[in-house]
């Protein structure tokens, strides 16, 4: 949950492309678990797409059509990953000034 808005940015948008939010204090609600699962799929798809992109870019005979298709998919994956990062960042607990590093790589520097 975002400390500022009390809303969780979901990993999908509405049919008009507008962001969707969840208002719930239950991180284990069915919709929260569904959002977590979709975020995991989006992240793994990004990893696979990056692997494919490296292979295609190394292929000397890749044509403009293939590269354009790749660029479109990379843009989609980047959009999804940025949405996941924004959502997860908004749910980090706020840091007080003077907080040191959090063991395990938490959100405070």
| Per-residue pLDDT, 93 | 84
The yes-or-no verdict on residue 54 having pLDDT over 50 is: yes
**Range 70-78 contact pairs with CB under 8 angstroms and sequence separation of 24 or more:** 73/49, 74/49, 74/50, 77/42, 77/45, 77/46, 77/49, 77/50, 78/46
E strands, 16-82, are: 19-22
What is the reported pTM? 0.74
The yes-or-no verdict on residue 18 having pLDDT over 70 is: yes
| Per-residue pLDDT, 12 | 94
The half-sphere exposure of 19 on its side-chain side, counting CA atoms within 13 A, is 14
The yes-or-no verdict on residue 77 having pLDDT over 80 is: yes
| Look-up of token digits 């959002």 | 35
The rounded percent of the chain whose pLDDT value lies above 90 is 70
Q: How many angstroms separate the CA atoms of 54 and 47, rounded?
A: 11
């Amino acid at each position: 949950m975002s400390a500022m808005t009390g809303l969780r940015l979901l990993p999908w948008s509405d049919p008009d492309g507008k962001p969707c939010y969840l208002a719930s204090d239950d991180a284990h609600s069915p919709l929260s678990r569904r959002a977590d699962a979709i975020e995991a799929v989006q992240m793994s798809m990004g990893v696979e797409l990056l692997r494919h992109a490296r292979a295609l870019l190394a292929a000397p005979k890749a044509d403009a059509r293939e590269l354009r298709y790749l660029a479109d998919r990379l843009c989609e994956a980047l959009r999804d990953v940025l949405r996941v990062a924004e959502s997860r960042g908004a749910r980090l607990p706020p840091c007080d000034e003077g907080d040191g590093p959090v063991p395990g790589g938490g959100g405070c520097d």
